[in-house]
Amino acid sequence: MTKHETAPAIGADAPVLQANPGAGYRQLKGPIDAAVARVLESGHYILGGEGAAFETEFALWQGARHAVGCANGTDALALILRALGVGAGASVVTVSHTAVASVAAIEMAGATAAMVDIEPDYFTMDPEDLRALLERPPAGLPPIRAVIPVHLYGQAANLEAILPICAQFDVAVIEDCSQAHGALYKGKKVGGFGVAAAFSLYPTKNLAALGDAGIVATDDDALAARIASLRQYGWRERYVSQDVGVNSRLDEIQAAILRVKLRHLDEHNARRGAIARQYDGALQGGSVRAPARRPEASHVFHQYVVRSGERDALQTRLKSQGIGAGIHYPVPVHRQAAYLGRIAMGPGRCLATEAAAGHILSLPIYPELTEAEVARVSAALRRVG
Ligand SMILES: *Cc1c(COP(=O)(O)O)cnc(C)c1O
């Protein structure tokens, strides 16, 4: 028996949830409870020793010179933009096939969001649409100062193509690593390719707090110092604001929990990969398409996203067999009411993005899934054919 089969007993017919952050807590309950108790006893709850230790440990794990904790992943992106001075009067390009947070962060910083299409096989930023937008930005769009590639579902965007284009047009690259903690591109961890990277640590992410949290990684000393100041009212010394900042602090309880979780991240990512291989096998020869892997990258399977021409029927069938499946994301950001009709796009008009939204389905994939649960999902996939 592997330790994945020793999780609290679940009845044979209990549904397999699409996401299950509670299982992540229960698996590490002993050390997490001890970490939380330690913080409660310490009397220090905001920006103390746990947060500083987590930042040091995360930076070491990431291979970055600095890591700066903050309140959530959206803030991590917005803090990077603010620290770079990218706000009102500037535009930032990202994709429409992403968590709305990637776009919300751009507007939080006061900048104008513009969107480009995705590569249909990999669901990440289409470098050619990006190049076309940079070459011929629509009239009236403020100058483009930054590009945010999103390493979606656990797989790197096409950095080999995106980085030289951004260099050519002199725009900063900010990686959204919220779904790709530990993913590799050409053997190097994502988050090390641009000026800075944002990581959400939301409870369902590969590295997950039990509440809200986020972190920025960067090798730039001055940028790290500016972000650390901006996250707390623009203070450099206590009670004296040098710049106009915000409150986006990482609390000590979450930091202490994250220190426990970080020690298991590589093993958890490996477990996600093993589950993905089992699903791949179950889908072989059928009509439902397994996720495409970039040959030069290593995927950490934040989500395992299949494609089907009959997606809704597939989701219903899985549900009838007690298997939760979700859609990430059902409505492209530019089609959502809050953004409709006011977002500049590349010449690709985000057509691949719109097509993807109709075909994608995310299966349950998290390290705490038991072998029995993985077998149930696999059997259901085989039955679908
Ligand atoms: C989760 C996520 C975010 C935002 O993170 P929060 O912590 O929820 O603010 C940003 N971008 C992507 C791609 C995400 O998946």
Distance 256 CA to ligand 1 centre (A): 21
Tell me the per-residue pLDDT of 362-378, one tens digit each, with 9 for 90 and over.
999 999 999 999 999 99
Q: Looking at per-residue confidence, does 38 or 14 come out higher? A: 38
Report the pLDDT value the prediction gives residue 385, as an integer from 0 to 100: 78
Ligand 1 site, residue 112, Cβ cutoff 6 A: no
Helix (H), strand (E) at residue 297: strand 297-298
Q: 3-state secondary structure string, 85-98?
A: CCCCCCEEEEECCC
Distance 380 CA to ligand 1 centre (A): 30
Per-residue pLDDT, averaged over 344-371, amounts to 97
Q: What percent of the chain has pLDDT over 70?
A: 97
Asked, as a colleague might, if the bond just before 329 is cis with ω within 30 of 0, I would say yes
Distance 376 CA to ligand 1 centre (A): 30
Distance 74 CA to ligand 1 centre (A): 6
| Residue of 108, 153, 178, 206 best suited for mutating to test ligand 1, as the one with most atoms within 8 Å of CB | 178
Distance 315 CA to ligand 1 centre (A): 24
The angle formed by the CA atoms of residues 331, 288 and 202, to the nearest 5 degrees, is: 45
Ligand 1 site, residue 348, Cβ cutoff 6 A: no
Average pLDDT, the chain: 95
Residue 254 three-state SS: helix
| Dist. CA 132–CA 226, nearest whole Å | 33
Ligand 1 site, residue 308, Cβ cutoff 6 A: no
Atom of ligand 1 nearest to the CA of 302: 15
CB 228 within 8 A of CB 4: no
Per-residue pLDDT, averaged over 266-287, amounts to 97
Tokens of 312: 């809704």
What count of other Cβ atoms lies within 10 Å of the Cβ of residue 385? 9
**Contact residues for 197 (Cβ-Cβ < 8 A; gap 6+):** 64, 174, 175, 176, 177, 190, 191, 216, 217, 218
CA dihedral for 22, 24, 28, 34, sign (positive or negative):
negative
Helix (H), strand (E) at residue 70: strand 66-70
pLDDT classification of 12: cutoffs 50, 70, 90? low
Nearest C-alpha neighbor of 69 from the set 61, 58, 78, 84: 58
Report the pLDDT value the prediction gives residue 1, as an integer from 0 to 100: 40
Q: Give the CATH class of 264-384.
A: alpha beta
| Dist. CA 364–CA 377, nearest whole Å | 8
Atom of ligand 1 nearest to the CA of 77: 10
Ligand 1 site, residue 332, Cβ cutoff 6 A: no
Per-residue pLDDT, averaged over 163-183, amounts to 98
Helix (H), strand (E) at residue 175: strand 172-176
**Dihedral, 326, 98, 182, 377 alpha carbons, nearest 10:** 10
Ligand 1 site, residue 202, Cβ cutoff 6 A: yes
Residue 173 three-state SS: strand
Domain spans of the chain?
A: 29-262, 264-384
CB 175 within 8 A of CB 76: no
Record: fold of 29-262: Aspartate Aminotransferase; domain 2 (3.40.640)
| Residue of 96, 150, 176, 181 best suited for mutating to test ligand 1, as the one with most atoms within 8 Å of CB | 176
CB 262 within 8 A of CB 209: no
Ligand 1 site, residue 101, Cβ cutoff 6 A: yes
pLDDT at residue 7 is higher than 90:
no
Distance 101 CA to ligand 1 centre (A): 5
DSSP state of 365: -
Nearest C-alpha neighbor of 149 from the set 294, 311, 341: 294
Report the pLDDT value the prediction gives residue 267, as an integer from 0 to 100: 98
Report the pLDDT value the prediction gives residue 133, as an integer from 0 to 100: 98
Q: Where are the alpha helices (DSSP H) in the chain?
A: 21-27, 29-42, 49-62, 73-83, 100-108, 127-135, 159-168, 221-230, 252-262, 265-283, 311-320, 351-357, 371-384
pLDDT at residue 101 is higher than 80:
yes
Ligand 1 site, residue 200, Cβ cutoff 6 A: yes
Ligand 1 site, residue 55, Cβ cutoff 6 A: no
Tell me the per-residue pLDDT of 103-119, one tens digit each, with 9 for 90 and over.
999 999 999 999 999 99
Report the pLDDT value the prediction gives residue 106, as an integer from 0 to 100: 98
**Contact residues for 335 (Cβ-Cβ < 8 A; gap 6+):** 96, 354
Ligand 1 site, residue 214, Cβ cutoff 6 A: yes
pLDDT at residue 27 is higher than 60:
yes
Which residue type is seen at 11?
A: G
Distance 177 CA to ligand 1 centre (A): 9
Report the pLDDT value the prediction gives residue 5, as an integer from 0 to 100: 46
Distance 139 CA to ligand 1 centre (A): 30
CA dihedral for 135, 136, 140, 146, sign (positive or negative):
negative
| Dist. CA 280–CA 349, nearest whole Å | 32
Ligand 1 site, residue 206, Cβ cutoff 6 A: no
Strand partners, 306: 361
Ligand 1 site, residue 73, Cβ cutoff 6 A: yes
Tell me the per-residue pLDDT of 190-232, one tens digit each, with 9 for 90 and over.
999 999 999 999 999 999 999 999 999 999 999 999 999 999 9
| Residue of 81, 153, 202 best suited for mutating to test ligand 1, as the one with most atoms within 8 Å of CB | 202
CB 100 within 8 A of CB 130: no
pLDDT classification of 6: cutoffs 50, 70, 90? very low
Report the pLDDT value the prediction gives residue 354, as an integer from 0 to 100: 97
